[in-house]
Amino acid sequence: MGFPQSTIENTHHSSPKNIYAYPSKSKAEEEAKKLGCLGVHKMGQLWMPCATHRPNQ
């Protein structure tokens, strides 16, 4: 079972932003393909899509 996508309140902008974090590397790799980026990276115990962590703008 995958980790659900969560939404947190962005204090710098009025709209919320999505945080993609998954317990498995393979799920993060699937999401990276959907997002159009390459690779994955680890954030604590979770995996995130894309080789580097970029903040939403």
**pTM (whole model) above 0.85:** no
Q: Backbone phi, then psi, for 23, in 5-degree steps?
A: -75, -15
Q: What is the pLDDT at residue 46?
A: 95
> How is the chain split into domains, by residue range?
18-57
Q: What is the pLDDT at residue 19?
A: 74
- pLDDT tens digits, one per residue of 9-45: 333 444 455 678 999 999 999 999 999 999 999 999 9
Residue 19 half-sphere exposure, CB side, CA atoms within 13 Å?
A: 11
pLDDT of 57 higher than 80: no
In the block, residue with structure tokens 């997002």: 35
